[in-house]
Amino acid sequence: MIQGLFHYEFLQNAFLTGIMIGILAPLLGVFIVVRRLSLIADALSHVTLAGIAASLLIERSFPIMAGLNPLYMGMVFSVGGSLFIEKLRGVYKHYQELAIPIILSSGIGLGVIFISLANGFNTDLFSYLFGSVSAVSRTDLWVILIISILVIIVIILLYKELFLLSFDEEHAKASGIAAKSIHFIFIVMVALVIAASMRIVGILLVSSLMTLPVAASIRLAKGFKQTIFLSVLFGEISVLGGLFTAYYLDLAPGGTIVMLAVLILVLAIFYKKIMIHKQVDIGGGVK
């Protein structure tokens, strides 16, 4: 595969995209998980599916639009969905999680209608659902690169505010932080990253790349910065390891990446267990 990397453009695309997604998804995932919004990623990925299906339908119905990259439509839907979630969270102040299933089911409903209008599943759609190494085009690569740079700059600039907002939303608001605008920027970034990630891991598995590495690192890390660092590290190992394995064993890359992330999570849980036992032993049974 290393040789293949030099020879085949599609492999280069997949790997470079994978490296970027491996950073972005867990980076945003940390903020999502600590705010207990893990399911937002799921809702938005399903909305993205509706966007992809819409794009494929348009392609089929209007041959002039054949060159349309479904990634764009996916992003439009995903960002739109994130705005709806925010609106709904405002409407159902006391049932904020309700916004997520509403958007999730609307996304699937709409997606299924578009798919049926476009005369059912085809291989193209299948690759969006489960990810594909060969599907990433050069254009996708550039778009994802721009998103990556944008997201990383925003996270660095708004790190203080995002931390405070995640740790203690009430305090953030009380101290006069522009909580609403910052949350809005954040959720739009999440929507963009989800749309960007679907080429590699697939729509159905995007959210796992945002949550599993974070779940593992929370078990081990001391402090927030270390949590971010470990999450990105675990995410990167999962994506690169998963892509290699998938290429050699001819497996779906999305599934392989996710299963690697699950493996890391299980190891992290066991490692933590062992460390706690050791501490108790050293302490001579004193807790």
Partner 1 sequence: MILIIKGESSAMQPIIEIKQLSYRYEKDTVLENINMTIPDGSFLAIVGPNGSGKSTLLKLILGLLKLQTGEIHLFGKGISKFRDWQQVGYVSQKANSFNTGFPATVFEVVASGLTKKLGLFTFFKKEHAAKVNDALDAVGMKRYSNRNIGELSGGQQQRVFIARALVSEPRLLILDEPTVGVDAENVNSFYQMLGDLNTCRNITLLLVTHDIGTISDRVSHVACLNKYLHFHGETNEFEQFRNEDVSKVYGHDVHLLTHHHEHGGVVR
Q: Vertex 78, ends 215 and 225: CA angle to 5°? A: 30
The 8-class DSSP code of residue 120 comes to S
Q: In the structure encoding, which two tokens stand for residue 87, read together? A: 């609106």
Q: Please, are residues 197 and 209 in contact by the beta-carbon 8 Å criterion?
A: yes
CB closer to partner 1 out of 19 and 158: 158
Q: Please, are residues 199 and 20 in contact by the beta-carbon 8 Å criterion?
A: no
Interaction mask 41-80, partner 1, x per CB under 8 A: ----------------------------------------
Neighbouring C-beta atoms of residue 2, cutoff 10 Å? 7
CB closer to partner 1 out of 171 and 278: 171
- 164 near partner 1, rule: CB under 8 A: yes
- 271 near partner 1, rule: CB under 8 A: no
Part in contact with partner 1 (CB under 8 A); list of ranges 46-54, 81-89, 166-174, 241-249: 166-174
- Pairwise CA distance, residues 228 & 225, whole Å: 5
From the CA atom positions of the chain, what is the Rg in Å?
20
Part in contact with partner 1 (CB under 8 A); list of ranges 6-14, 108-116, 222-230, 233-241: 222-230
Nearest to 140 by CA among 257, 1, 46, 21: 21
Binder of partner 1 out of 155, 177, 192, 203 (CB under 8 A): 177
- Pairwise CA distance, residues 46 & 129, whole Å: 10
Q: How far is the CB of 173 from partner 1 (least distance, A)?
A: 8
CB closer to partner 1 out of 9 and 168: 168
- 227 near partner 1, rule: CB under 8 A: yes
Binding interface with partner 1 (CB under 8 A): 34, 36, 157-158, 160-161, 163-164, 166-168, 170-172, 174-177, 217-218, 221-227
